[in-house]
């Protein structure tokens, strides 16, 4: 046998192997077209899991307002007790014509730190639960939107 015929046979075998290994593309799933505006809206909600995102948003807003109330009504009162002049959140630092609202900034910073720590605690609780509490897992394990 000549080298060309051997090369041709090898190429034919390789083409047969490639054809055997090539998988046909799966058929696209048949989606029934929506029958109206309401069906189209329900299909959109199911496809992008909008209900889970809405519940997570509502739960996050409720937890945020709860923690803000805790900071404002309890923790700030304790801090105010230790500061002699009381109204520490209204403290203003004057530098010539410039007025820095240091007390307001300190209050907002403390509020942020407590809220972020509470958020971290909720995330840890959700991870420890591992699906035990549907609200925690739903609120903090939102799936990415397919593109």
Return the residue matching tokens 């230790």. 82
> Strand 98-100 relative to strand 93-95: parallel, antiparallel, unpaired?
antiparallel
Instruction: Give me the CATH topology for the region 36-140.
Output: 1.10.1200
Per-residue pLDDT, averaged over 50-71, amounts to 80
In terms of pTM, does the model score above 0.85? no
The pLDDT confidence band at residue 139, using thresholds 50, 70 and 90, is very low
Q: Is residue 127 very low, low, confident or very high in pLDDT (cuts 50, 70, 90)?
A: low
Residue 119 has pLDDT above 80, yes or no: no
Q: Tokens 């996050």 belong to which residue? A: 60
Cβ(99)–Cβ(92) under 8 Å?
yes
pLDDT of 143 strictly over 60: no
Contact 139, 46 (CB under 8 A): no
Q: Yes or no: say if 106 and 89 are a contact pair by the CB < 8 Å rule.
A: yes
Residue by residue, DSSP assigns 13-77 as HHHHHHHHHPPPPPPPPP-PPPSSHHHHHHHHHHHHTHHHHHHHHHHHHHHHHHHHHHIIIIIHH
Q: Pick the residue with more confidence: 42 or 125?
A: 42
Q: How far from chain centre, in Å, is Cα 51?
A: 14
Best CA proximity match to 107, nearest among 81, 68, 57: 68
When pLDDT is averaged across residues 10-14 and rounded to a whole number, the result is 88
pLDDT of 138: 47
- How far apart are alpha carbons 115 and 75 in whole angstroms? 12
Is the predicted pLDDT of residue 99 greater than 90, yes or no? yes
Above 60 in pLDDT, residue 49? yes
Contact between residue 107 and residue 120 where contact means Cβ atoms under 8 Å apart:
no
Q: Indicate if the pLDDT at residue 133 is higher than 60.
A: no
The proportion of the chain whose per-residue pLDDT surpasses 90, expressed as a percent, equals 6
């Amino acid at each position: 046998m000549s080298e060309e015929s051997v090369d041709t046979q090898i190429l034919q075998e390789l083409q047969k192997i490639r054809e055997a290994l090539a998988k046909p593309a799966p058929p696209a799933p048949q989606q029934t077209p929506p029958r109206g505006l309401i069906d189209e809206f329900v299909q959109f909600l199911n496809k992008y899991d909008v209900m889970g995102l809405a519940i997570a948003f509502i739960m996050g807003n409720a937890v945020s307002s709860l923690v803000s109330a805790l900071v404002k009504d309890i923790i700030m009162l304790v801090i105010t007790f230790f500061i002699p002049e009381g109204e520490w959140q209204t403290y203003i630092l004057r530098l010539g014509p410039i007025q820095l609202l240091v007390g307001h900034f300190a209050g907002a910073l403390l509020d942020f730190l407590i809220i972020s720590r509470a958020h971290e605690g909720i995330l840890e609780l959700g991870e420890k639960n591992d699906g035990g509490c549907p609200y925690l897992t739903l609120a903090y394990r939102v799936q990415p939107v397919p593109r």
